[in-house]
Amino acid sequence: MLPKAAPSAASALALETAAAPKPLKLAGDAVGQAGSKDALARLTSAMAELKSLAAQPILNRAVTAIQAEDWMAAGELIAKALERDKDSGFGWYLLAIVRERLGDFAESILAYEAALRLIPQHAEVANDLGRLASRMGMKVEAEKLFQHFLTMYPDHPEALNNLACVIRDQFRYEEAIEVLRPAILKNPENALLWNTMGTVVAEQGDFANADLFFQEALRLDQNFFRARFNMGNARLALGDNDAALAAVEGALTQVRSEDERQMMLLSRALILLNLGRVGEGWDGYEARLHSRFHDCTHFLFEQPRWEPGVDLTGKTLLVLGEQGLGDEVLFSNVVPDLIERLGSEERLILAVEPRLVPLYRRTYPKARIEAHATYIVATKTIRYVPALLNELDKVDYWAPIASLLREFRRDLDAFPARRGFMTPDPARVAHWKTVLEGAPAGPKVGLLWKSAINRDARHRFFSPFDHWTAVLKVKGACFVNLQYGDCAEELALAERALGVKIWTPPGIDLKQDLDDVAALCCAMDLVLGFSNATLNIAAACGVPTWLISTPGAWPRLGTERYPWYPQVRTFTTAAYRAWEPVMASVGEALQAFVSEH
């Protein structure tokens, strides 16, 4: 037996401190491969014990085809076997493996479930089904399946890793660490476990320790491209863009699967944007549209897709909003330039999130503004425009809105100095100015402190509310709540702990009534907070806006400002979770602002 490798001193210390978690999509998901050599060996051995299995000879040939990666031949053989014995759990298991390797995850998961019902004693099925369930976002179900597998193989490193991953993805970081730490102590030579530990602490914003864990994983396995990629993301968050780029490009030379390759290409694009290599960054950003990218949105149009350099003279272009709602607004910075290129606003069809339609119709009254719709089919995100289903013959080209940046925003000088590019309802702006006369005295400062999206690790980009003390203690300001979603706890905390009442505007749904939100923001003297949908709407309407940002935030494009909105003032933390200094700076600046007003 080979001796176990001892972790480095720094990694060992980080492992101890990870016991108490410290308040980018990383490559650390549930691992394993359907139809791996070891899995097939165990399966063949199990089938050999069932001499009376009617379909066994055919299934043995199917296993040989799988080993040769001849998926179509394997599928045909398995179909024949299941015709002879529809209750063959091994047949359904092999079918699940083939369908997964062909990318048909919906059919694969059904086959895994059938196999698990028929051969529950074969724990390998539970592990594979859990891995696929995790990939499809079914984290609770995946956790139960990994636990089932671990009842038979309690010290299995891969299964412990997978369990930690799905617990992490449910934001239960302390539990994930408690799964990983003893597993690492038993298997200190296992690079996979070190990598996953790195992803757990990175999700919490502790990129310094995460970097140590990724380094340890690479020390143990120089070919571990996921750890190299993750180290690149950690270096980006730590402000070392050059090291981040080198690590991600190194990982790209090693990666084999196309879905992971596209994820890494997208990460590389964001690093290039951070380095100010804007044109290259937008070119690389197209990876988000690759059909094998795990989070790809598929657009249902047969018309030609617009590409840079296409002559738009006399053409009608359909542009679709994409990413999050705030991103749709941010990327709309390019729309006035696009209309100028088209030669007429009437040649633009713009599809946006339904809540944005009234605001865009007012801003571009001669363009056709419609709502896009999105649905999920077998784990694929599909986007289309219902109002155009019978009128697509009017469209010459179509484009996702961010793709336009490849031509219209290839460098920082291409970002115009215009203060705003959205038009709020002037009558509603006047209404809100009147309403605000009844609010407490002082300059009206709209506050935004969180995102309503919690399906990922986005929380690490937002300061905990108790760090807002330096801002809320500013005298003479009237703080106005612009925060959508449930924020009753924060409002009560501000009043209870600081004696500060954050005034909530009456008669408006801050999440749904976005046209009225735009008008409300325009009635403010200042909008202040983190980047979310409302802050982008305020900035796009030309409102004086202060943005609290973090290292590695790609929309700054390698600058200390926000090129999309020239009037925005940015306050950037020196490091992740270093909230106190930056919030103190915001508080000082706000006190000066209030004094001037």
Are residues 119 and 89 part of one domain? yes
Q: Is residue 21 part of a domain?
A: yes
Q: Does the structure show a pLDDT above 60 at 530?
A: yes
Choosing from 385, 410, 435, the residue where a domain stops is: 410
Q: Is residue 275 part of a domain?
A: no
Angle between helices 71-84 and 89-101 (to 10 degrees): 160
Q: Is residue 251 part of a domain?
A: no
Please compute the mean of the pLDDT values over residues 143-169 and round it to a whole number.
91
Please compute the mean of the pLDDT values over residues 462-466 and round it to a whole number.
66
Task: Give tens-digit pLDDT for 387-403.
Answer: 999 899 899 999 999 99
Are residues 437 and 395 part of one domain? no
Q: Is residue 416 part of a domain?
A: no
Give the list of residues 6+ apart from residue 501 with CB closer than 8 angstroms, or none: 440, 479, 494, 495
Q: Does the structure show a pLDDT above 90 at 488?
A: no
Tokens of 142: 């995946």
In angstroms, the CA 202 to CA 404 distance is 32
Report whether 415 contacts 409 (CB < 8 A): yes
Are residues 478 and 363 part of one domain? no
Q: Is residue 241 part of a domain?
A: no
Q: What is the pLDDT of residue 306?
A: 96
Counting Cα atoms < 13 Å in the Cβ hemisphere of 434 gives 6
- Per cent of the chain over pLDDT 90 is 57
Q: Does the structure show a pLDDT above 70 at 454?
A: no
Q: Does the structure show a pLDDT above 90 at 301?
A: no
Tokens of 311: 């002559």
Compute CA distances 594 → 10, 444, 523, 588, 590, whole Å. Answer: 47, 9, 16, 10, 6
Q: Does the structure show a pLDDT above 60 at 573?
A: yes
Are residues 519 and 403 part of one domain? no
In angstroms, the CA 267 to CA 286 distance is 11
Are residues 47 and 189 part of one domain? yes
In angstroms, the CA 332 to CA 349 distance is 13
Q: Is residue 318 part of a domain?
A: yes
Report residue 23's pLDDT band, with 50, 70 and 90 as the boundaries.
very low
Residues in the chain: 597
In angstroms, the CA 285 to CA 273 distance is 9
Q: Does the structure show a pLDDT above 70 at 62?
A: yes
Task: Give tens-digit pLDDT for 158-213.
Answer: 999 999 999 999 999 999 999 999 999 999 999 999 999 999 999 888 899 999 99
Q: Does the structure show a pLDDT above 80 at 6?
A: no
Number of domains in the chain: 3
Are residues 477 and 393 part of one domain? no
Q: What is the pLDDT of residue 65?
A: 86
In angstroms, the CA 25 to CA 485 distance is 25
Q: What is the pLDDT of residue 542?
A: 97
Are residues 505 and 539 part of one domain? yes
Report residue 140's pLDDT band, with 50, 70 and 90 as the boundaries.
confident
Residue 156 sits in a domain of what CATH number? 1.25.40.10
Are residues 512 and 405 part of one domain? no
With CA atoms as reference, report the closest residue to 416 among 277, 563, 273, 557.
563
Q: Provide DSSP, 243-275.
A: HHHHHHHHHHTT--SHHHHHHHHHHHHHHHHHT
Q: Is residue 228 part of a domain?
A: no
Report residue 449's pLDDT band, with 50, 70 and 90 as the boundaries.
confident
Are residues 78 and 42 part of one domain? yes
Q: Is residue 111 part of a domain?
A: yes
With CA atoms as reference, report the closest residue to 423 among 549, 578, 543, 319.
543
Q: What is the pLDDT of residue 459?
A: 44
Choosing from 349, 383, 410, the residue where a domain stops is: 410
Domain with 150, as residue range(s), is: 9-25+32-221
Q: Does the structure show a pLDDT above 70 at 18?
A: no
Please compute the mean of the pLDDT values over residues 83-106 and round it to a whole number.
81
In angstroms, the CA 353 to CA 371 distance is 6
Q: What is the pLDDT of residue 97?
A: 79
* Pairing of the two strands 317-320 and 348-352: parallel
Q: Does the structure show a pLDDT above 70 at 48?
A: no
Could you tell me the sign of the dihedral formed by the alpha carbons of 514, 518, 520, 524, in that order?
positive
In angstroms, the CA 173 to CA 161 distance is 13
Are residues 453 and 382 part of one domain? no
Q: Find residue 478's DSSP bridge partners.
A: 444
Report whether 132 contacts 102 (CB < 8 A): no
Residue 504 sits in a domain of what CATH number? 3.40.50.2000
Are residues 458 and 311 part of one domain? no
Choosing from 410, 436, 469, the residue where a domain stops is: 410
Q: For the chain, first and last CA: distance in Å?
A: 75
Q: Find residue 546's DSSP bridge partners.
A: 528, 569
Least confident of 159-173, 187-201, 292-306, 344-358: 292-306
Q: What is the pLDDT of residue 204?
A: 86
Least confident of 256-265, 271-280, 530-539, 576-585: 576-585
Are residues 357 and 306 part of one domain? yes
